[in-house]
Amino acid sequence: MRLIFHGPPGVGKGTQAGRISLAENLSHISSGDLLRTAVDAKTEIGLKAKEYIENGLLVPDELIVNIVADKINSAECDKGFILDGFPRNLSQARVLDSTLEKVERKLDRVFSFTASEEVIITRISGRRLCKSCGAHYHEIFSPPLKENVCDKCDAKLFQRKDDYPETIKVRLKVYKEQTEALIDYYNKKGILIEVDCNGDKKEIQENILTGLRSMSEEKRDLE
Ligand code: AMP
């Protein structure tokens, strides 16, 4: 299975991509994580990408498309993948199409996640991370036992700069201006499934699994 999880920042696509990739044995490719790793490692790409990320803007295509294409072409993606956060604009979508065409592969489905702006802002602004062990928390939905301290390793929690309220607004605007058009692009290809993400994580996961099951049934009927 080759899937895209598409949607605005904070809609929950990363969380769901993590869960579904484990459940279905797929590779989880998060372009945001790849870029943040490059920033932390201070690679040439990371140094160039840092400012864009912190300001809530898309990094230029040339900083991300090759990293993602290399991942897709690597052996770890032979079993299938979930792309989370890529593509973010039409030119990235076209690069993805040609990357897959070259190896005679196709995308199976694009799950388009939606939620109200209020839900999105609450989800993003409460996110807290532990840099030391990678644990994720949320001020309201999954707070640590001790305020701002990681339950697992006692390190101080931090908030991503691009999760600050003023930057969330920029990210949502960028999504509307550059990324939302992909819904139409994939709808026209007949591979789009919409997922309502206003509910809780378990409910959303069930909706995705239902979509995946209907996809497998369709495939079986065609065989
Ligand atoms: P994410 O974790 O997917 O919300 O991504 C965090 C930030 O990384 C975004 O706000 C962008 O600055 C950058 N980024 C991630 N994926 C892409 C992409 N496909 N194209 C351009 N910038 C990206």
Q: Which residue has the tokens 């912190």?
A: 54
DSSP structure class, residue 43: -
The closest alpha carbon to 208, from 50, 52, 15, belongs to 15
Q: Which residue has the tokens 């870029």?
A: 35
Do 103 and 126 have their domain in common? no
Mutate to test the pocket of ligand 1, among 39, 55, 58 (most ligand atoms within 8 A of CB): 58
Instruction: Return d(Cα 210, Cα 151) in angstroms, integer.
Output: 34
Structure tokens at 170: 């920029």
pLDDT attached to residue 218: 73
pLDDT attached to residue 221: 74
88 counts as catalytic = yes
Instruction: Say how many domains are in the chain.
Output: 2
Do 28 and 133 have their domain in common? no
171 counts as catalytic = yes
pLDDT attached to residue 106: 93
Strands 2-6 and 109-114: parallel
The closest alpha carbon to 148, from 127, 125, 119, 168, belongs to 127
pLDDT attached to residue 201: 87
What tens digit of pLDDT does each residue of 84-97 get?
999 999 999 999 99
pLDDT attached to residue 200: 86
pLDDT attached to residue 211: 86
Do 148 and 199 have their domain in common? no
What tens digit of pLDDT does each residue of 7-46 get?
999 999 999 999 999 999 999 999 999 999 999 999 999 9
**Residue 165: inside a domain:** no
Contacts of 164 (CB under 8 A, 6+ apart): none
**Residue 194: inside a domain:** yes
Q: Which of 13, 109, 123, 128 is catalytic?
A: 13
Do 95 and 14 have their domain in common? yes
Q: With a cut of 50, which residues of the chain have pLDDT below it? A: none
pLDDT attached to residue 77: 94
State the residue range of the domain holding 146. 117-159
